[in-house]
Every structure is written in structure tokens, then in C-alpha cells.
């Protein structure tokens, strides 16, 4: 299954980073990759949310409505977006690596008939976008903690 992955070590408590992640209405203050389109739809397992993605600056945002598949507070958030022939699972994970130090990882897993055909067209910009998001989360969380 094709996938994209990034991780970053953040000098902040896992619970603090979790609060930043689930407050999607505040993503606009730190996240230039994913955007909240409906703050009235929180992350609730089994429900959909309205989001958009901006793979690279200057591109148009792409709106999507994924279904939240897992909300494990302070540890993991997953959602799945689908179009015919392509499924895209997004996985946010937090792991303690020391006192007030957390490893944030983000992974996208692609599956379906068209996954292998479409991924080469989006892989580079998507990879840059998820790396940008991870570093923006790091800067934002560490700034809040200082």
C-alpha cells in the first residue's frame, strides 16, 4: 500500500499537542497544509468533518469530507477520505519520548484501484505539505510552551 510519512520531535507534553490537534478551528494559526471548513463539526469517531488541503502555496485548496475512524485522546487521531477507486487514511500519532518531549508522526495510507496511478502525481507536493505541517506544529507547540 503506498504511503507518505513524516515525524518530528516536539519539546512539549503530549497532552498539549493533542489539544492543538483537536482544536481544528484554530489550525489557521499554525497549519498551512490542512484547514477546517466547519468548526461546528468536531472530531467524533464515526462522524464526518469538513476540511481542505493545500499541498503547496499558490495552489487551490481541495475540500474533502473524511469520516473520523479513531479518536484516542492524547495518542491517535485517524480519518478516512474516499472517492471511487481511491481511499486515503490520515493518521496522527503522539508518543512520549521524554519529559515534556513528544514524537509527532503523520502518515497517509493510500489504497484502492487508482492509488498506484495517482500517487506519483501528488507524492512530492503532498510530502512537502505534511513535512511543513509537522514543523509548523512543532514551532507552534514550543512557542505556546515557552
pLDDT of residue 93: 98
CATH class of the domain whose range is 3-145: alpha beta
CA distances from 24 to 14, 50, 91, 111, 127 (A): 17, 10, 15, 26, 21
Residue percentage of the chain with pLDDT more than 90: 71
Strand order in the sheet with 67-72: 3-10, 101-111, 86-98, 76-83, 67-72
pLDDT of residue 7: 97
pLDDT in tens, 55-106: 777 788 889 999 999 999 999 999 999 988 889 999 999 999 999 999 999 9
Residue percentage of the chain with pLDDT more than 70: 95
Domain boundaries, the chain: 3-145
Amino acid at each position: 500500500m503506498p504511503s507518505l510519512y513524516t515525524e518530528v520531535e516536539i519539546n512539549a507534553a503530549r497532552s498539549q499537542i493533542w489539544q492543538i490537534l483537536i482544536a481544528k478551528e484554530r489550525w489557521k494559526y499554525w497549519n498551512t497544509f490542512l484547514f477546517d471548513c466547519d468548526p461546528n463539526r468536531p472530531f467524533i469517531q464515526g462522524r464526518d468533518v469538513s476540511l481542505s488541503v493545500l499541498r503547496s502555496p499558490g495552489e487551490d485548496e481541495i475540500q474533502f469530507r473524511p469520516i473520523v475512524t479513531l479518536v484516542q485522546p492524547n495518542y491517535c487521531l485517524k480519518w478516512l477520505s474516499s472517492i471511487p477507486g481511491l481511499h486515503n487514511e490520515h493518521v496522527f500519532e503522539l508518543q512520549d519520548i521524554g519529559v515534556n518531549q513528544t514524537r509527532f508522526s503523520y502518515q497517509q495510507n493510500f489504497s484502492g484501484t487508482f492509488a498506484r496511478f495517482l500517487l506519483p502525481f501528488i507524492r512530492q507536493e503532498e510530502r512537502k505539505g505534511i513535512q511543513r505541517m509537522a514543523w509548523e506544529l512543532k514551532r507552534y507547540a514550543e512557542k505556546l510552551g515557552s
